């Protein structure tokens, strides 16, 4: 059975704005390794549209960006959206039965399936489907934007914490 993991970069004040701060080289390499090892990803529409950036090659990319793009393109993706009519390569739309589709996905797969997007994570949290939360805490204060937890924080239990690179701490929680 697959494990659903919601992990994102977060500012000290709880925001996940990818335009306000980004992972450094060490953390980016960590994300490449995670993408290479994941059984797939479940995206909300907005996060999927942000990540579609990796579908096209860009001349300014170095080896790390190329490696991440290759891992992302290879990975199976499930997109939860009522407005999208089609999705890109290696991606499928999830219908109206979010809970049923995700339960089936977890039962069919092995390994980790990434959950991407705070709104989707909130819905899956309410359904009791997220197995692990990973907060990559950056030493920045953003002051506005989208929060890591789109609703009330669920009861959580800290499992591990570790440093990645010089200034990011990964906090790993499970539902309490």
Domain borders along the chain are 1-12+23-124
Q: What is the pLDDT of residues 8-35, one digit of tens each?
A: 999 999 999 888 898 999 999 999 999 9
CATH class, domain 1-12+23-124, is alpha beta
Interhelix angle 25-37/63-74, rounded to 10 degrees, is: 20
**pTM for this predicted structure:** 0.95
Strands 132-137 and 168-175: what pairing? antiparallel
Strands 40-44 and 3-10: what pairing? unpaired
Q: What is the pLDDT of residues 91-131, one digit of tens each?
A: 999 988 999 999 999 999 999 999 999 999 999 999 999 99
């Amino acid at each position: 059975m697959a494990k659903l993991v919601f992990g994102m970069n977060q500012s000290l004040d709880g925001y996940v704005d990818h335009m306000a701060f980004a992972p450094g080289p060490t953390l980016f390499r960590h994300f490449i390794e995670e993408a290479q090892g994941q059984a797939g990803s479940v995206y909300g529409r907005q996060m999927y549209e942000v990540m579609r950036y990796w579908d096209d090659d860009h001349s300014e990319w170095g080896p790390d960006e190329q490696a991440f793009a290759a891992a992302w393109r290879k990975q199976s993706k499930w997109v939860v959206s009522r407005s999208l009519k089609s999705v890109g390569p290696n991606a499928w739309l999830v219908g109206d039965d979010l809970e049923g589709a995700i339960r089936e996905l977890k039962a069919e797969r092995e390994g980790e399936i990434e959950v991407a997007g705070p709104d989707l994570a909130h819905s899956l949290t309410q359904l009791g489907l997220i197995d692990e939360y990973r907060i990559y805490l950056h030493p920045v204060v953003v002051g506005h934007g989208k929060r890591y937890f789109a609703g009330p924080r669920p009861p959580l239990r800290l499992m591990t914490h570790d440093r990645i690179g010089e200034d990011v701490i990964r906090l790993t929680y499970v539902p309490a």
